A = this chain, B = another copy of it.
Amino acid sequence: MKINFSTPSGFPEFLPGEKRLEQYLMDTIRRVYESYGFTPIETPAVERLEVLQAKGNQGDNIIYGLQPLLPPTRQSERDEAGRGDTGSEARALKFDQTVPLAAYIARHANDLQFPFARYQMDSVFRGERAKDGRYRQFRQCDIDVVGRKELSLLYDAQMPAIIAEIFSQIQIGDFLIRINNRKVLTGFFSSLGVTPDRIKACINIIDTLEKVGVDKVLVGLAAQGLSPERSQQVIDFIKIQGDVDLVLAALNEFAAKLPDADRFKLGIEELTTVINGVRNLGVPDNCYCIDLSIARGLDYYTGTVYETTLIGHEALGSICSGGRYEELVGTFIGESMPGVGISIGLTRLIYRLLKANILQPLAATPTQVMVLNLQEDLMPIYLQVSQQLRQAGINVVTAFDKRPLKKQFALADKQGITFCVVIGTEEAANNRCQLKNMATGEQVEVSIDALANEVKQQLG
Given contacts A68-B62, A70-B62, contact A117 B81 (CB under 8 A): no
* Contact of B59 with A41 in the complex, beta carbons under 8 Å: no
**A232 CB within 8 Å of chain B:** no
A 133-170 binary contact with B (CB < 8 Å = 1; else 0): 00011000000000000101011000001000100000
Set B43, B92, B154, B364: member contacting A69, Cβ < 8 A: B92
Set B11, B63, B80: member contacting A46, Cβ < 8 A: B11
Given contacts A39-B365, A67-B64, A395-B35, contact A51 B129 (CB under 8 A): no
Residues from 23 to 67 in A contacting B, C-beta threshold 8 Å: 23, 34-51, 54, 57-67
Set B46, B118, B364, B398: member contacting A39, Cβ < 8 A: B364
Chain B residues with CB under 8 A of A54: 3
* Contact of A379 with B48 in the complex, beta carbons under 8 Å: no
Set B15, B62, B332: member contacting A81, Cβ < 8 A: B62
**A130 CB within 8 Å of chain B:** yes
* Contact of B68 with A7 in the complex, beta carbons under 8 Å: no
CA distance A45 to B82 in the complex (A): 20
CA distance A411 to B61 in the complex (A): 41
Chain B residues with CB under 8 A of A272: none
* Contact of B15 with A280 in the complex, beta carbons under 8 Å: no
Which stretch in A105-113, A238-246, A296-304, A448-456 binds the other chain? A105-113
Q: How far is the CB of A385 from chain B (nearest CB, A)?
A: 11
**A73 CB within 8 Å of chain B:** yes
Closest to A363 in B: B39
**A404 CB within 8 Å of chain B:** no
Task: Count this chain's copies in the assembly.
Answer: 2
**A228 CB within 8 Å of chain B:** no
* Contact of A7 with B47 in the complex, beta carbons under 8 Å: yes
| Number of chain A residues whose Cβ lies closer than 8 Å to a Cβ of chain B | 117
Chain B residues with CB under 8 A of A79: 62, 129
Closest to A331 in B: B3
Chain B residues with CB under 8 A of A395: 34-37
* Contact of B62 with A40 in the complex, beta carbons under 8 Å: no
Interface positions of A (Cβ within 8 A of B): 3-16, 19-20, 22-23, 34-51, 54, 57-74, 79-82, 84-85, 88-89, 91-93, 102-104, 106-108, 111-113, 115, 117-118, 123, 125, 127, 129-130, 136-137, 150, 152, 154-155, 161, 165, 277, 280-282, 332, 364-367, 379-380, 383-384, 387, 390, 393-398, 400-401, 411, 414-415
A selection of 27 A-B contacts at a CB cut-off of 8 Å is: A5-B51, A6-B107, A7-B103, A12-B44, A13-B42, A13-B107, A14-B42, A15-B108, A16-B112, A19-B39, A19-B41, A35-B393, A35-B394, A36-B397, A37-B366, A37-B396, A38-B366, A57-B72, A62-B69, A64-B67, A65-B66, A69-B92, A113-B365, A113-B411, A154-B379, A154-B383, A280-B380
Given A6-B48, A7-B47, A113-B414, 6 new contacts (CB under 8 A): A5-B332, A11-B47, A19-B40, A20-B39, A35-B396, A46-B125
